[in-house]
Chains A and B, each alone.
Chain A
Amino acid sequence: MIQRNKIQYSPEIEVDLQALGKDLLPRRFGTLGKIWVAVLVLSSLLSLILYIGQLRKGLIITDLRDFTPWGIYISNFVFFVAISLVGSLISAILKLSGAGWRTPMTRISEIIAVSAIIFAAIAIVLDMGRPDRFHHLLIYARIQSPITWDVIVITTYLIISILLLYIPMIPDLAYMRDRYHDIPKWQHKLYRILAINWNNTAEQKDKLSHAIAVLSVTIIPVAFGIHTVTSWLFATTLRPGWDSTNFGPYFVSGAFMVGASGVICGMAIFRKFLKMDHYFTDKHFERMGILLMVLSFVYLYFNVNEYFIPAYKLKGIESQHLQELFVGQYAPMFWSVQFFGMIVPIVVLLFKKGRKPVPMFIISVLVIVGAWFKRFLIVVPTLNHPYIPIQRVPESWQHYIPTFQELYITLGTVTGALLLITIFVRLFPVVPIVETAEELEEKKKTANE
């Protein structure tokens, strides 16, 4: 092996790096962290066992039947795709708009994006009647089908997201390779391999920033694509409630909203448990709060378009669907989701006091839970209204209540995604170390001038 010298940073940055490293280098979990990991692992394993049961018996273990062929597996998939859009929002859109305050959030958002998109892909496999034929999607691919578009765009988005997570992290990996001791050999080896001989030379830095710039621009159309194509899984059909030209932007705006909430949640949790008050300051919450409020207003606007205009016309079968949502069996869920998942956040975030970490955390949880149920309300009620009457079928076919197995398998995607994020946090710094140090120096310089 070629002997390589440790990277020499400038003396000022070196000082910052040492201080930052103390705070930000990944550490061993305490008792609470270990319990958290154990719970996630056990719960995910139980989901896996239940899924094996589904493989053996078939989808009969769910409450899906011929008149509700899609249920929470699909709505959960849409939810995960939605939350994954956060990566592009923070890494790309805020970067290109020159929002310097976003630096501490970039990595969290990319971790959430990568985990969410991986589990979106898993969520869709859970729904397949024949997952053993997954390769048919490639060998018999038909480009006319929106599912094929989804396969292409999800793969592309996953690759770009992984690159956007990995490439900006290379300087940190090199830092850990050189300066992080008292760690197991394999962990050190991992950093060494992943750091791909990063020496912090001017040429390397130039290439790095160029690569990040290209990726940041590329991911924006792909991010819009991924959620627009997902909305087209519904909008390309003739079903009431789905047969809408508004669906693409409606889905994308909702996704940015839930994605922003995901980052706020992550920020609040890391701030509390990894003691990162210096990095996720009140100022960050204030700015994210304003961003979330704006995104909520945009989503409100699309909701008005999506529900008010059809409700004004009450056209044929569309009116049955809307009545079911507004006053029928789905009304309690529908109004709760609209109120707690959209109206309450807007009102609270209007006030400066509402944009403090604790209320923001609560608001974000409301938005995320609301978003999950909103996807359910988009997918399921529509299916109860086919163009031919539902007659002479078993009573249980006329409504859809997910079974325990179905719910727990779905929960498995959530615990799995959280586990992936947790493993990541254990191995890599959640806030960029080198980038933050360089930015600090940059700031000092401009302040001195």
Chain B
Amino acid sequence: MQEDQDTTIKGRREFLAKGIAAGALSLMATSCMSHDKMHHKTGEKVKLLSPEGEIVEVDSGDLQPIPDEMYAISENIREGVPNRKFVMVIDLARCKNLRKCHDACEKIHFLPPDKNWLKVLKMQNSEDSAPYWQPTNCFHCDRPPCVKVCPVNATYKRTDGIVFIDTERCIGCRFCMVACPYGARSFNWEDPEIPEDMYKQHHHSMESIIPRKGTVSKCDFCPDMARNGELPHCVSACPNGTYYFGDENEDAVSNGSETVRLSELLRDRGGYRYMEDLGLEPRVYYLPPVNRLFPFKDDEFSKNYKTR
């Protein structure tokens, strides 16, 4: 009896899991081409959480990856995530030029080595002051000069603060690149050769700037992550917690290990914005490189390309 009940439960669970998978499939409407695969048993069992909150075990052959179309946001991509104002704070005292952020960015966005959406720059304010490392990405300015000059509205400002690029509309005039005084943008001088199926992957969903030949691309603040309440890849890649990312409306930013009040952080640590006097109102703040965690070491710097 006990045994019977177990099989019944198991059978019911299997049915349920299949139902979820089938439901997911039917949601993506007509594409039933992989239907046959669903019944191909592998014998390998996978534990899953059912919608009722129960742990279920299903054959891995029954699993279907949720296609990206499912993920594609229903809201207009040009609008941005409602009620959010994304903001970043970079603590210069914590950066030792490990460049994990850069590598994560490069990997996740399939950037060739010479395309830097994120740069770690050696800065020195004056001859007698100490040099320090400054991670620099797109500042997502509130008064973006790049957006101002775009002739076709291919680059635009979203309500959540992100400056985005529609690379299917961009005509490649590069006016935005000369208008950006921070050099945040980079051009795809040749075909970026991103594998076709990569475009369909999670992080290359519609809500990510997809590099295309003859168009401009740049740091996009990883809105696909931000929409789900997750941190951009550069933030989570930094082992020293240099980056804080969050929402100005919530007044909270997080570097992955601690979540702090944005206003307190900026007030107590002397937060500032790069070249404030240009009046572009960047959404990236810096905390000055005081009481540093690491001494400045230059040797790793000239690893990739010759420095100036």
Contacts and interface: CB of A to CB of B under 8 A. Distances in A.
Contacts of B175: 145-147, 233
B280 to A, nearest CB: 8
Contact of B121 (A142, A389, A397): A389
A390 B172 contact: no
A309 interface: no
B197 interface: no
Contact of A142 (B145, B153, B170, B305): B153
B295 interface: no
Interface stretch (B20-28, B180-188, B255-263): B180-188
A331 B185 CA distance: 29
Contact of B187 (A129, A238, A386): A129
A60 B121 CA distance: 25
A144 interface: yes
B183 A386 contact: yes
Interface stretch (A79-87, A130-138, A222-230, A286-294): A130-138
A387 interface: yes
B304 A387 contact: no
B153 A140 contact: yes
B269 interface: no
B121 A66 contact: no
Tell me the interface secondary structure of chain A in the complex.
loop
B150 A389 contact: no
A148 B185 CA distance: 21
A341 B75 CA distance: 58
Contacts of A141: 151-152
Given A58-B213, A130-B171, A387-B183, A69 B178 contact: yes
A147 B174 contact: no
Contacts of A284: none
Interface residues of B, number: 48
Given A147-B151, A386-B183, A391-B308, A237 B178 contact: yes
Contacts of B213: 58, 129
Contacts of A148: 151
Interface string A146-188: 1110010000000000000000000000000000000000000
A146 B181 contact: no
Given A236-B179, A395-B306, A389 B123 contact: yes
A130 B191 CA distance: 12
A142 B181 contact: no
B181 A238 contact: yes
Max chain B CB contacts within 10 Å: which of A128, A142, A237, A392? A392
B121 A391 contact: yes
A65 interface: yes
Interface residues of A, number: 48
B182 to A, nearest CB: 5
Interface string B98-135: 00000000000000001010010111000000000000
B256 to A, nearest CB: 26
A66 B183 contact: yes
A390 B172 CA distance: 22
A198 interface: no
Given A390-B308, A393-B114, A147 B181 contact: no
B63 interface: no
Contacts of A397: 114
B308 A69 contact: no
Given A383-B178, A388-B121, A388-B182, A398 B189 contact: no
A394 interface: yes
Contacts of B301: 392
Interface string B265-308: 00000000001001000000000000000000000011011111
Contacts of A144: 148-149
A302 interface: no
Contacts of B173: 127-129, 147
A393 B177 CA distance: 17
Contacts of B174: 69-70, 127, 129
B10 interface: no
A129 B307 CA distance: 29
A392 B169 contact: no
Interface of A: 57-60, 62, 64-67, 69-70, 127-131, 133-134, 136-137, 140-142, 144-148, 151, 233-234, 236-239, 383, 386-395, 397-398
Interface of B: 114, 116, 119, 121-123, 136, 145, 148-154, 169-175, 177-179, 181-183, 185-191, 213-216, 275, 278, 301-302, 304-308
List the 4 closest A-B pairs by CB distance, nearest first: A129-B172, A129-B214, A147-B151, A60-B190
Given A145-B151, A391-B119, 14 more contacts: A59-B187, A66-B186, A69-B187, A70-B174, A128-B173, A129-B174, A129-B215, A129-B216, A147-B149, A151-B151, A388-B136, A391-B121, A392-B304, A395-B306
15 contacts: A57-B190, A59-B189, A59-B190, A59-B214, A62-B189, A66-B185, A127-B173, A129-B215, A133-B169, A137-B171, A144-B149, A238-B181, A387-B278, A391-B121, A394-B305
